[in-house]
Structure 1
Amino acid sequence: MACISITMHALLLILVAALSSFSNLALAIQPSLGKWKLLKKSIGISAMHMALLPNDRIVTFDRTNFGPSNITFSKGKCPLNADGCYVHSVEFDPASRSIRPLTLLTDTWCSSGALSSDGVLIQTGGNNNGERVVRYFKTCAGCDWEEDRNGLVSPRWYASNQVLPDGKIIIVGGRRQFSYEFIPKTTESDHKQYELSFLLETRDSDAIPNNLYPFLHLSPDGNLFIFAKDRAILLDYVNNKVVRKYPVMPGGVSRNYPSTGSSVLLPLTMSSKKPTPDAEVFVCGGTLSNSIEKALAGEFIAASQTCGRLVINAAEPQWVMEEMPIARLMGDMILLPTGDVIIINGANEGAAGWGVARAPVLNPVLYRYNGAKGNRFEVLNPTATPRLYHSTAHLLSDGRVLVGGSNPNSNYNFTALFPTELSLEAFYPPYLTGTSLRPSITRVDPGREISYKEKLSILCRLKSKYGVQLDKVQVTMVSPSFTTHSFAMNQRVLVLEVEGTRRTSAGDYVVSASAPATATLAPPGHYQLFVINNGVPSRATWVPHGTGHDYEVV
């Protein structure tokens, strides 16, 4: 009995110490605060990069020189240049939870990407033999990576991508790269790079830049908002001209890698009365510029608790600051179908990098962007799995948030303080755990590509034996992101103008809405279309917008 008592006491001490070191708020598990579910204990690799395709499959990968992963190619399938036949990219099907090994031949470490207008994942740069590579992954059964080893003008390591109104993709920055370029390279001008002194001006030093993975957001006027370290510009990339400089974000905090905060463009609300909506950028977290130097010396500085909102197309833009309930760096900011923001993953102390963060933040935070200031944040139920450096998150079409990765080690290491994490979890936001009824989309007219300004009729069903009706209806279109290093590139939510809702004789509903008016509001591409009933989203239907492709409701 004495031996059992000592063991239990020791376990309790360990548990208390672990919980206190993880800097989380003490919360009872409440269904109204969301829930977690383990989807796959191991996918064989650590999900450093993540993208969702229009067939609802997730493509994820790490770096090809990470050392042995926990999954290998089958006999006879070992590709050239593969060290010991180890796999470093997989396709994951959230519905069946199955994985399929994919083939990468060049180094994808800290690379970037975007989903093209025709639904192809275009992935750029990396390190070593991958620094100038453009990779393509098509949305089709059995597809694999295709690689163009001379696809970029300059090496792009830690760069960011954004889809533009003409369907091209701009790639900005990278380690020791103070420029931008475009893909695909269809014209003579595409084979050039364009200098951007802003990236040199915001760099702290060559060793610790604090401006890598700059935050990119397409403005409704077609120009590009670029945020690096603690300041931002509006770039006319067509004429290679900075057309606006914004005030420095208050607080003296660096927000980009390796200080690593995150950023989203808050939802753009479509309205015939206001054709150009307010475009408001939201930036949260990060840390002091010298945090990584301190951490390397064994001192772990607390992350920032501050966030800022900036209306980038206002006459006189000014940052409006507020505080998160939990200080955080390396947090992923993911836009939900409702337009609200989940801030998930990350740490409370240190910086982004190998072994330089402490105190994982296990609780996601919900940010209600339309709420009253001072009452917008809500702390949600925690995971049991720390997600630090090289972790990722992505919105799924069923409204869940997929979470994976975390490897703050220089290789696959399962005995480190924070081991390499191979699992995938799903977080169910509060709208999936409440009592409100969820609509389901059964048809979208027209049943083809959606054109700009086109009228949409969305047939949806609301199952209820209690006579509950569709209420407080919203329709949103979500542009899927490419997520890595706490930044979801190309992420965008468009709130469509709803013109009316009517009940059919069969008891279903027809929601009438208008598609976005211009490509500067909604660049051509594949979007997830949601109908929201009283704050609860349907499962998404994929719709091509301005792309020339037909689609089906599945």
Structure 2
Amino acid sequence: MLSLLALTLGATSVLAQGAKGGEGHVGGSFEDGGNTQVSAMMLFLGNEDTVYILDKSEGNAAQINGHPAMGAVYDIHSRTATPIEVSSNPFCASGAHMPNGSWIAFGGNGAIGPKGEIGDTNNGAYDSSYGDLAGQTSVRVMNPLGCTGSDAVSSANCQWYDDPAVTHLQAMRWYSTAEAMGDGTVAVIGGYSNGGYINRNYPENTDPVWQGGASQPTYEFWPPRDGWKPPVMQFLVDAGGLNSYPLTYLLASGKMVLQANVSTILWDPNSGEEIPLPPMPDNLVRVYPASGANAMLPLTPANNYSQTVIFCGGNDMPDNAWGNYSWPFINTWEYPASPKCHRLEPEPQDGSAPAYVEDDPMPEGRTMGQFIHLPDGTMLVVNGGLNGTAGYSTMTLETLSYSDMPYGMSLASGPVGRPAIYDPKKPTGQRWITEGLATSNIPRLYHSSALLLPDASVLIAGSNPNVDVNLTTVFPTTYQAERFYPPYFSAPVRPQPQNVPKTISYGGPSFDITIPASSYSGSANDAADNTTVVIIRPGFTTHAMNMGQRYMQLNNTYTVNSDGSITLHVAQAPPNPNLFQPGPALLFVTVNGIPSNGTLVTVGSGQIGTQPTAAIAELPPSVRLDSAKGTGAGSSTTGGNGTSTDQTSGASHTGPIVGGIIAAIALVGLLG
């Protein structure tokens, strides 16, 4: 046990800066992402070269150690995947990062045989041909830092540690949520012990707390707290079965906002106090299996790092329509998903009472849509369907025979192949963009996933609304991945920042990043005015959410140099680890809306425990070039929290060659 905790709690590994790449792709397009070997129910970024994939235990053709694979490692550059060993069934697990860059997958389902039933039998004996262990209490640990190329498969350090007899939760947790806290520990919330479509025994609901032994409305922490016994969370009980994968976000105060069914609370993980907040409007359910897209909006200096959560889509079916463990009580695939969006600031900075605010609706209704933070401050929504819910079933109370199910086991229909981009900076009525975005022809319904990659593209994979592998049904098991390239990939050049740090602290001295003149186009002053430095944690993605996903802009000022290069003076993260929990993140520099490749950095100390904090250092004033082409002489800007001054020489360029010429002219002017 101690050796595993050392893996979880150990010192931060050295991280390499991101390689140059990403040019030559068409903005707004999809490309072939290769074969994932297992259906990508869960994804997380291991390092700058690899993505790790988890599936449920099922009859995948890809084999490892004599049984179907449940996991794979995906090489970002070659777009190929290789099976890796996973011992216990991670079906519908939760996941979180740790401060040292390792990742943990919590819980899952029982051991499964062919046809996907726990305790599947063959002539009265358990069929163990899938070779899996029960995973409901499993704590699987992966430390992928330093694992590159073939090492990501061959090295023992790059494999899952997965032994439920050694590392395990206190309670069975299938469909739980994991949320990291400011000290790097993780709260693991809710789930089923066993069950099915939703977490309730209905209509004979004689046991509203435990639902006949299948529900697990409790919480615990990892690493385990001494003497801890998981207490009941009343909020999960009151959610009445629609409490799987509760939507959870850590807030500045150290409390969390939790949302399930139509209820919302503030929860104090230290005291257990539950503070009611207003309910979700319009009877909209966003939690699984309604699976509305949800994310915390970008944290920026401009909004004083205000923590606001957005919820979009989902479903407003009547309560009885949701049914019970076994199946829904209506034909869900006929019921349209909602296009509506709502924002909530759970801890308003102005001291007002928290309230849901309706936002611009999505271009179409969507269930199982997923928000992905992009480095330019916009948010991509991908995957999902126009109708129905997540989950799968062989019947409903309106369609009693599987042979009459129009979409096989799928409880959703109308795959939405066109992405949409949400811009929180735009005024109301103008926040959604679909123009110029291609449409995928691959259905991405239940068990689909998406993840931001270091080159600022998005990996899209998975989809399997079936109990086992099924390649012939209407919406089959999907191994084909795609790479989506947002519109900024149409830019002729991308920033190539230099001197990017390996770590980000909570307060303390600022640092400088240099942007060469050859890696942006247009006026140097304009480029400097429109440059941001952001850290993004892509999160652990599954079931239309990315647990732990965060976007934070670091404050900066700048100096425009006579050779056309730009020196960014960048502040560390605010001295509150609750805003951006300690652990791995990608650092991007975005110039005129065009992002660099991301560099993997470590935020915080790399250790579990109270994070060191310090006052934010004052940034120097921004310095412009007063004769830069395209700007007015003597113009100035504040740029971040600094003030600006002017230099007497100018620099401007439209590309590497022109930039060099104008830099030379600027140098002559400086000497004169």
Asked if TM exceeds 0.5, the reply is: yes
Q: Classify the secondary structure of the residue corresponding to 1:304.
A: coil
Whether the aligned pair in 2 keeps the contact of 1:227 and 1:233 (CA below 8 Å) is yes
- Look up the equivalent residue of 2:161 and give its one-letter code: E
Give the match for residue 438 of structure 1.
Answer: 494
Task: Verify: 1:188 aligned to 2:226, yes or no.
Answer: yes
Q: How many angstroms apart in 2 are the aligned matches of 1:378 and 1:467?
A: 25
Whether the aligned pair in 1 keeps the contact of 2:87 and 2:163 (CA below 8 Å) is no
Give the match for residue 11 of structure 1.
Answer: none
Of 308, 313, 321, the match for 1:280:
308
Give the match for residue 455 of structure 2.
Answer: 398
Q: How many angstroms apart in 1 are the aligned matches of 2:50 and 2:186?
A: 22
Count of equivalent residues: 493
Q: Select between 522-531 and 384-393 the one with higher mean Cα deviation.
A: 522-531
Give the match for residue 35 of structure 1.
Answer: 29
**Cα displacement (A) at 1:522:** 2.0
CA offset digits 1:387-419 (Å, max 9, x no partner): 000000001111111100000111111110111
Instruction: Give 5+ residue unaligned stretches, structure 1.
Output: 1-30, 79-83, 204-208, 550-554
Give the match for residue 382 of structure 1.
Answer: 439
Give the match for residue 103 of structure 2.
Answer: 121
Are the structure 2 counterparts of residues 210 and 434 from structure 1 closer, same or farther at C-alpha, using a change threshold of 3 Å? farther
**Cα displacement (A) at 1:505:** 5.9
Are the structure 2 counterparts of residues 192 and 55 from structure 1 closer, same or farther at C-alpha, using a change threshold of 3 Å? farther
**Cα displacement (A) at 1:59:** 0.3
Q: Counterparts in 2 of 1:317-466, with a 5 A limit?
A: 317-322=354-359, 323-354=361-392, 355-379=410-434, 380-434=437-491, 437-445=493-501, 448=503, 450-463=505-518
- Look up the equivalent residue of 2:345 and give its one-letter code: V
Are the structure 2 counterparts of residues 298 and 440 from structure 1 closer, same or farther at C-alpha, using a change threshold of 3 Å? closer
Task: Verify: 1:257 aligned to 2:288, yes or no.
Answer: yes
Are the structure 2 counterparts of residues 211 and 548 from structure 1 closer, same or farther at C-alpha, using a change threshold of 3 Å? closer
Whether the aligned pair in 2 keeps the contact of 1:292 and 1:356 (CA below 8 Å) is no
Q: How many angstroms apart in 2 are the aligned matches of 1:253 and 1:333?
A: 18
Of 503, 527, 539, the match for 2:585:
527
Task: Verify: 1:61 aligned to 2:92, yes or no.
Answer: no
Q: Classify the secondary structure of the residue corresponding to 1:463.
A: helix
Of 336, 340, 347, the match for 1:302:
336
Q: How many angstroms apart in 2 are the aligned matches of 1:356 and 1:467?
A: 50
Q: How many angstroms apart in 1 are the aligned matches of 2:283 and 2:457?
A: 35
**Cα displacement (A) at 1:455:** 0.9
**Cα displacement (A) at 1:229:** 1.6
Under a length normalisation based on structure 1, what TM-score does the superposition of the two structures give?
Answer: 0.85
Instruction: Give 5+ residue unaligned stretches, structure 2.
Output: 1-24, 111-133, 193-214, 393-409, 608-672
Are the structure 2 counterparts of residues 156 and 442 from structure 1 closer, same or farther at C-alpha, using a change threshold of 3 Å? same
Of 146, 149, 168, the match for 2:161:
146
Are the structure 2 counterparts of residues 178 and 61 from structure 1 closer, same or farther at C-alpha, using a change threshold of 3 Å? same
**Cα displacement (A) at 1:45:** 1.1
Whether the aligned pair in 1 keeps the contact of 2:336 and 2:387 (CA below 8 Å) is yes
Q: How many angstroms apart in 1 are the aligned matches of 2:375 and 2:322?
A: 35
Q: How many angstroms apart in 1 are the aligned matches of 2:91 and 2:356?
A: 34
Whether the aligned pair in 2 keeps the contact of 1:256 and 1:262 (CA below 8 Å) is no
Q: How many angstroms apart in 1 are the aligned matches of 2:333 and 2:535?
A: 44
Are the structure 2 counterparts of residues 163 and 299 from structure 1 closer, same or farther at C-alpha, using a change threshold of 3 Å? closer
Aligned-pair identity (%): 32
Q: Classify the secondary structure of the residue corresponding to 1:130.
A: coil
**Cα displacement (A) at 1:248:** 1.1
Q: Classify the secondary structure of the residue corresponding to 1:431.
A: helix
**Cα displacement (A) at 1:501:** 1.5
- Look up the equivalent residue of 1:188 and give its one-letter code: D
Give the match for residue 212 of structure 1.
Answer: 244
Whether the aligned pair in 1 keeps the contact of 2:333 and 2:411 (CA below 8 Å) is no
CA offset digits 1:491-532 (Å, max 9, x no partner): 00111111x212446643221111112211221111111111
Task: Verify: 1:134 aligned to 2:139, yes or no.
Answer: yes
Whether the aligned pair in 2 keeps the contact of 1:115 and 1:480 (CA below 8 Å) is no
**Cα displacement (A) at 1:464:** 5.7
Report the structure number with the largest CA radius of gyration. Answer: 2
Whether the aligned pair in 2 keeps the contact of 1:344 and 1:364 (CA below 8 Å) is yes
Q: Classify the secondary structure of the residue corresponding to 1:70.
A: coil
CA offset digits 1:98-151 (Å, max 9, x no partner): 322211111111001011110111110001110001000111332111024152
Under a length normalisation based on structure 2, what TM-score does the superposition of the two structures give?
Answer: 0.70
Q: How many angstroms apart in 1 are the aligned matches of 2:333 and 2:39?
A: 27
**Cα displacement (A) at 1:91:** 0.4
Q: Classify the secondary structure of the residue corresponding to 2:512.
A: strand
Q: Classify the secondary structure of the residue corresponding to 2:254.
A: coil
